[in-house]
Every structure is written in C-alpha cells, then in structure tokens.
Amino acid sequence: MADSTPFTADFRSDTVTKPTREMREAMLTASVGDDVLDGDPTVGLLERTAAEWLGKAGALYVPSGTMANQIAMGSWGRHGDEVILERGAHILAYEAGALGRLHGLQSVTLEGNNGVLDPELVRAAIRPDFIHCPNTAAICVEQTHMGSGGRVLPLDNLTAMGAMARECGIALHMDGARLAHAVVRSGHSAADFAACADSVSLCLSKGLGAPVGSIIAGDEAFLERARVVRKQLGGWMRQAGLLAAAGLLALEHGVERLAEDHELARELAGALDGKFGLSCPPEGVETNLVLVELQDTPIDGPELCTRLAEHGIGVLPLKPRQLRFVVHRDVSGKHVQAAVAALEAILTSRLS
C-alpha cells in the first residue's frame, strides 16, 4: 500500500518524513520483548546508544518529544513549584498547558535573544528560599530554538547556564528535540551540549527520520523519578522494539545527513528573501527551519498557506504574518523550486 501524503512538497514539519526501506526491514526483524515486564532488547539497545551519544548515564525511549519534556518537568517539579523558560519555549507554548495541567507547575518566562537566555537574568529569576515564594524547580533551554527558526544556542552560553544552575542547586532541562541539528551545525558533540543539562530530550521522529519516538536522558537519580512519571503518563510501551529498531537507524545514520537539509533551507531562504513582499535573510538560517516574514503581501499567513496547499505545497503559519518552512529528508531542490514558483504565482498575481 502506498504511503499517504496530502502534498507534493510538504514543508509543514520534519515530523512528516516516512520511514526508509532500511527502517521498515529493521522493524520486521527486530528482537522484541515486553519492555514493562522484562525489558525489550531493541529498546534497551536504543536507550544505551542514545545515552552514550548524549554522554548521560542512561536514557528512556518514550512516544513523543512532548512526553519526554513532560517527564522531565514532572520529575524535577512538584505541584506549586515554578519553572523558568524562554518566552517562546515549546514546553510553554506548544504542549497544551501540560506544565499546569499535569504537574501543577507555574512558569516564569524571560525574553531571549533568538532563544538564548542570559544566565544572570535567569539567576535573578530564581526565587529566594522564603515562605512566601514558590520553589524554583527547573530551568529549561531549547536546542535548537524552534521559535527563532532553528537557531543554535551557543555552547559557551549553555555552559555558563549549567554552571549557574548547579551553583544555585536548580535542575537544568534541555529540550533537545533538534539537538542533532545543533551538533551538525556547530561541530560540537551532543555530549558537549548535554553536559550542561541535568536532563535532555531528543526527538528521533523529526529530522532524524524515525516514524515514532523520543529519548529522555539523565543520571540514575533522575531516571528513577522519570520512570515513575513515564508510568503515570502511560508512556511505557510493550514490544516497542519494533519502533526502536527504526530509531536506532535514525540515530546511527540520520545525523550527518542533516547538513543537506541545512544547505537546502538556506537555498530556500536565498530564493525568497526580498521577493514577492517576503523577508527571510539566509544568514539567519542556521539549521533546517526557515521563518518567512510576510512584510508586504496582500494576504496573511493562514490564507497564503491555504493557497499554497492548492499548489500542492504544505506550509504552516507560525504567526499571522509569518510562515514556517521546515526542510527535511523528504524534500529536495525540486520541491524548493516548486514552492518558490507557487509563492510567485500567488503573490504576484494578487499584486497585479
């Protein structure tokens, strides 16, 4: 049976990638077991491989990036505690209010510069040990930073943040959904970045191309709590080795390839910047996300996305006057050209 896709060129997200033939074959032959009762050998192998890549003592394989982040939040915080996040953080803006709903946590948000927070501003936001104040449970950083278009948080900033957090005795969680992109772009290892944090999540099902699954990693004391929260959230899967087999291939073979996505993303930005009333300076494109500002277009983001869909191009509006294109394994230069041609057709015919 053929895979289904509503678009000829789908730039809505890097989650749309289809598993490769190698992944499907690995899934067919994976050794499996009941991961809750006895352990699943392939899940175990994936967890050990991911932990090693991240330089952490251990890791858990979980269904999604949202669950990985929320397991961390539920492990670090108790009802009434506070978490410090950058204003556009995925954990805050795109996880459906789970912080409050699931864990009774409240948030303090700070304005970042392309997702980068000043450690001294974060230090100032940590609550004093005082009967009237909530307890600050954790600080969150996001690598790469989705809301700023996949910018890479510099290693020296994260190192300073980690040192400050340790000094203050506050846990640092890294939402590393696209950490692999930061690795490829910066040349630093995943372990270098992850060393700054006490817990780190990683999505296998975005640019790395696995069909399902994410990782949450940390030291043994963290994992002990994390296993309980995973159980409470219903995220402990049974013969999940079927999926983990694809996740292993994603981690082993998906990382280096991301450089191609970064190059194509820049190419897309270069082709659109300053054209048809659009703005997206290519020098601001560091990884695989391209945020296109609708500076001088007669229609706004949602309508433009509807029109693009009529041309077979899938794109999402991140804000009313901003589109987000995500470049991934299943789009090519040909698709970029088709997107540029569709935008030209829609926007120039409207202007004339």
Ligand X SMILES: Cc1ncc(COP(=O)(O)O)c(C=O)c1O
Name which of 56 and 328 has its Cβ closer to ligand X: 328
Distance in Å, CB of 349 to ligand X, minimum: 33
Of 23, 180, 203, 216, the residue at the interface with ligand X (CB under 6 A) is 203
**Binding residues for ligand X, how many (CB under 6 A)?**
11
Of the candidate spans 61-69, 187-195, 259-267, 334-342, the one that interacts with ligand X by CB under 6 A turns out to be: 61-69
By CB under 6 A, residue 86 contacts ligand X? no
Core vs surface per residue 68-100: b (16+ CB within 10 A) or e: bbbbbbbbbbeeebbbbbbebbbbbeebeebbe
Three-state secondary structure along the chain? CCCCCCCCEECCCHHHCCCCHHHHHHHHHCCCCCCCCCCCHHHHHHHHHHHHHHCCCEEEEECCHHHHHHHHHHHHCCCCCEEEEECCCHHHHCCCCHHHHHHCCEEEEECCECCECCHHHHHHHCCCCCCCCCCEEEEEEECCEHHHCCECCCHHHHHHHHHHHHHHCCEEEEEECCHHHHHHHHCCCHHHHHCCCCEEEEECCCCCCCCCCEEEEECHHHHHHHHHHHHHCCCCCCCCHHHHHHHHHHHHHCCCCHHHHHHHHHHHHHHHCCCCCEECCHHHCCCCEEEEEECCCCCCHHHHHHHHHHCCEECEEEECCEEEEECCCCCCHHHHHHHHHHHHHHHHHHHC
Task: Choose between 5 and 94: whose C-beta lies nearer to ligand X.
Answer: 94
CB closer to ligand X, 211 vs 340: 211
In the complex with ligand X, the residue whose CB is nearer, 175 or 286, is 175
Pick from 218, 171, 175, 197: which is nearest to 58 by CA? 218
Q: Which of 75, 148, 199, 214 binds ligand X (CB under 6 A)?
A: 214
Is residue 150 within the footprint of ligand X (CB under 6 A)?
Answer: no
CB of 289 to ligand X, least distance (A): 9
Task: List, in sequence order, every residue forming a beta bridge with 203; answer none if it has no partner.
Answer: 214
Q: CB of residue 153 vs ligand X: minimum separation in angstroms?
A: 12
- Contact segment (CB under 6 A) with ligand X among 2-10, 18-26, 63-71, 266-274 equals 63-71
261 contacts ligand X (rule: CB under 6 A): no
| Residue 20 lies near ligand X (rule: CB under 6 A) | no
Q: Should residue 286 be labelled a site residue for ligand X when binding is judged by CB under 6 A?
A: no
User: Minimum CB separation from ligand X for residue 319, in Å?
Assistant: 15
Tell me the window of 64-72, 240-248, 251-259, 343-351 that interacts with ligand X (CB under 6 A). 64-72
Q: How far is the CB of 345 from ligand X (least distance, A)?
A: 29
175 binds ligand X (CB under 6 A): yes
**Interaction with ligand X in 126-145: which residues (CB under 6 A)?**
142
Q: Which is nearer to ligand X, 69 or 157 (CB)?
A: 69
Task: Work out whether 90 is an interface residue with ligand X (CB under 6 A).
Answer: yes
Choice between 65 and 74, CB closer to ligand X: 65
CB 195 to ligand X: min, Å: 20
Residues that bind ligand X (CB under 6 A): 64-66, 69, 90, 142, 146, 175, 177, 203, 214
